[in-house]
């Protein structure tokens, strides 16, 4: 029974809509109080299995190379592994001084990387998955909104590197949904048509089907789309 309880604690995962679990931690950029230090920003909190491993190295180089893209979307990157601070520092220095990947080199990681030797944070966020490893965090990604609410989570096995275009697309999709009160369809990309919320009454459904609103197309009462330009999506405050 005790082993079962411990395992349940290890793989407990915050759910979509939950308040992001709070913690204080030492990082490569100093101490942080999470998520309070980033109030008002979106956060991508992501874990990786270990320092000085090839897949993780490729991911950190990619995140660091694209950090400005996420910053432009009001998004803070925060990494985590259960290695120690000095290991983190040595690894990041090695990345900058020695590693080249897909044309990227001399890459400096300036976003915080959390030291989590005790696995305290990893357990809070369900990043330790016993079926995969009891000593390494899987590749978890948490999207946390400016109010500190978990909005999405994606988990990858140790063997598979993340798709960073998809992480950026997901962030923009959630920001678009918040800004315009819409949903995004399958394979949506910024600039594609978005989905208008389904009609909540017969009257609204009838009005919608008869509406000639510019830019809105209704295929049936429950499936209507409208255009949001790339500029509107990327600059929602100008809507």
The CA-CA-CA angle for residues 73, 103, 43, to 5°, reads 20
Instruction: Let me know whether 146 and 190 are in one domain.
Output: no
Instruction: Let me know whether 73 and 52 are in one domain.
Output: yes
For position 136, what pLDDT does the model report? 87
Rg (alpha carbons) of the chain, rounded to whole number: 21
pTM of the model: 0.89
- The residue range of the domain holding 220 is 181-238
Number of separate domains in the chain = 2
Q: Is 169 annotated as a binding residue?
A: no
For position 7, what pLDDT does the model report? 47
The CA-CA-CA angle for residues 180, 181, 187, to 5°, reads 85
Instruction: Let me know whether 90 and 204 are in one domain.
Output: no
- Please identify every residue annotated as catalytic: 56
Question: What distance in Å separates the CA atoms of residue 21 and residue 123, rounded to the nearest whole number?
Answer: 11
For position 210, what pLDDT does the model report? 63
CATH number of residue 185's parent domain: 3.30.1020.10
How many CB atoms within 10 Å of residue 190?
19
Instruction: Let me know whether 120 and 212 are in one domain.
Output: no
pLDDT, one tens digit for every residue, the chain (239 residues):
444 444 444 567 899 999 999 999 999 999 999 999 999 999 999 999 999 999 999 999 999 999 999 999 999 999 999 899 999 999 999 999 999 999 999 999 999 999 999 999 999 999 988 888 877 888 999 999 999 999 999 999 999 999 999 999 999 999 999 999 999 999 999 999 999 987 655 556 566 666 666 778 888 878 889 999 999 898 875 55
CATH number of residue 50's parent domain: 3.40.30.10
Instruction: Let me know whether 75 and 36 are in one domain.
Output: yes
């Amino acid at each position: 029974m005790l082993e079962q309880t411990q395992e349940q604690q290890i793989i407990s995962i915050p759910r979509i809509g939950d308040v992001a679990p709070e913690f204080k931690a030492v990082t490569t950029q100093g101490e942080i109080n999470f998520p309070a230090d980033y109030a008002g920003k979106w956060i991508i909190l992501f874990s990786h299995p270990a320092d000085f491993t090839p897949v993780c190295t490729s991911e950190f180089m990619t995140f660091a190379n694209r950090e400005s893209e996420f910053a432009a979307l009001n998004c803070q990157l925060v990494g985590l592994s259960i290695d120690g601070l000095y290991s983190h520092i040595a690894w990041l220095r090695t990345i900058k001084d020695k590693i080249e990947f897909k044309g990227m080199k001399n890459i400096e990681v300036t976003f915080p990387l959390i030291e989590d030797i005790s696995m305290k944070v990893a357990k809070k966020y369900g990043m330790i998955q016993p079926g995969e490893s009891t000593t390494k965090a899987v590749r978890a990604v948490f999207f946390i909104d400016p109010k500190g609410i978990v909005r999405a989570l994606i988990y990858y096995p140790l063997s598979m590197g993340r798709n960073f275009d998809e992480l950026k697309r997901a962030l923009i999709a959630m920001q678009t949904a918040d800004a315009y009160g819409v949903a995004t369809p399958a394979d949506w990309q910024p600039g594609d048509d978005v989905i208008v919320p389904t009609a909540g009454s017969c009257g609204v459904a009838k009005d919608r089907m008869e509406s000639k609103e510019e830019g809105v197309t209704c295929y049936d009462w429950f499936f209507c789309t409208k255009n949001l330009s790339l500029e509107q999506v990327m600059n929602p405050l100008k809507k």
